[in-house]
Amino acid sequence: MNLNFINQIAFFKRKTGNKVRKLTRFKNKSSVEYNASLSIKDILEPLIEKDMRDINKMIETLFRKLMANRMGLFTIVKFDMKNYFPSISLRYAYDFFIKDKISEKYHPLFENYCDNVKYNLQGLPPSSNFAAVMSKALKDELFAFFKVDGLTDCFYYVDDFVLLFKKRVNEIYIKFGILECIKNVFFKRNKLQYQNKVKAHIDDSKYTFLDDTKLPGSFTWLGYKIGISYGWQGIGITLDMADYKMEIYRKAFFDAVKQNYADEEKMRLMLYSSTRSVVTKIHKQGKPDKNVSISPFKFYKNFKKYPELVGENTRRFMQGVIVDAFRQQTIAMPFYLKDKDPNSGYNLWHNFFNSKAIVLNKTFGWSYEKLYNTMKKYSKLDIHSKSYEQLAKMYIDNFVIKL
């Protein structure tokens, strides 16, 4: 087997918020190389810790652990990796952490891929799984190193780690331990031509050290801001994430200005200022049911479980983000946004705890009449004699704002 993977890979850059990421993709998704990379991804899947892919579940577990230890001794450490994906040598990951866990019949495919691509280029189908395998190895090493020091939990999402200790631990010792664990996992057997380049952020703003002597304090993780005081915890949205989501609204509402707030655009804004998801059951040959997420805040499910602990800054942001998106563009406020009713359909904080999903399924969701009348009221589209499935598709195509 001798597939030329690297010849099929295109390199590009993408800006997300304030970050510019270097990404890759396959030029031809019908190529043998692309399908082979999908096979590699599937083969690695059983080696991945599934719990470490559910961000909301991890945040809730982390938050509960902190609440359970409100009056005790503790140490919290957060760190992540520098340019993690392309710092991982694929052959190293395969030789020492994958090879003996997969069937021998897959060895030639993995060796071909690893030697041809060399480093774990972000954006390719197997890249997240290669990174997850190495992150799991680092987690195991951290537990082994800090076991006698009271390490109770290690959370990670790709290259973002949070360590919880049940007692105070010296910060210098913790930094030393993290570096030793990285060395043991990524460099101890590093005699290959294409070596690992993995390094950790432990001396900058991406690193956090917090114990019970440094309260009140806070740290951010995966878009959440978690505050800790004496006997109290709070949860909220980070400033960077708030700016990013505000920009989403500004762009989304630009069309509303051009359309002069026509009924159709009003419908879009009301949907987008909810925390709903449009869930459809439109079956197509060989394709799964379609789910269209609307709100940029669907990620923050834990706010619903701890509303009384959500920080005031986050509460105010969600209450006013829709109106502020218009104000920041210095454009006239639509008449339906001028009322500051806290129960308004444009108040995200209100909607967060009250909105339900719109289910486009005539058996257990919106009826045909409900869907037809909504389309008739807000749209000039030709909906006469359309089937339920056709109306559902038209609804999504014309009312849901794509991110």
313's enclosing H/E stretch is: helix 312-327
pTM comes to 0.79
Out of 2-16, 38-52, 286-300, pick the least confident: 286-300
Query: Chain centroid to CA 45: how far?
Result: 19
Its sign, for the CA torsion 97, 98, 102, 104, is negative
Instruction: Report which of 284, 271, 282 is spatially closest to residue 357, judged by C-alpha positions.
Output: 271
- Which CB contacts under 8 angstroms, 24+ apart, belong to 202-207? 202/79, 202/175, 202/178, 206/78, 206/79, 206/80, 207/77, 207/78, 207/79
Q: Which residue has the tokens 């295109």?
A: 10
Q: Give Cα separations from 41 to 37, 121, 265, 289 (angstroms).
A: 6, 13, 41, 23
For 22-57, write each residue's pLDDT tens digit: 889 999 989 999 999 999 999 999 999 988 888 888
For 373-388, write each residue's pLDDT tens digit: 988 887 888 998 999 8
For 147-175, write each residue's pLDDT tens digit: 999 999 999 999 999 999 999 999 999 99
For 191-224, write each residue's pLDDT tens digit: 777 789 999 999 888 899 999 898 888 899 988 9
Helices then strands, counting H and E runs in the chain, come out as 14, 13
Structure tokens at 351: 């909607």
- Whether residue 366 contacts residue 392, with contact meaning beta carbons closer than 8 Å, is answered with no
Asked if residue 287 has pLDDT above 50, the reply is: no
Helix%, strand%, coil% for the chain, nearest 5: 45, 20, 35
Asked if residue 102 has pLDDT above 50, the reply is: yes
Number of Cβ atoms within 10 Å of the Cβ of 315: 16
Q: Exposure pattern of 247-283 as b/e (b: 16+ CB <10 Å)?
A: ebbeebbeebeeeebeeebbbbbbbbbbbbbbbbbee
Q: How far apart are CA 204 and CA 47, in angstroms?
A: 32
Strands (E), 1-150: 9-16, 19-26, 75-81
Its sign, for the CA torsion 132, 134, 138, 144, is positive
Its sign, for the CA torsion 392, 397, 400, 403, is positive
Query: Chain centroid to CA 393: how far?
Result: 27
What is the predicted pLDDT for the residue at 36?
95
268 contacts: CB under 8 Å, gap ≥ 6: 255, 256, 399, 400, 401
What is the predicted pLDDT for the residue at 401?
58
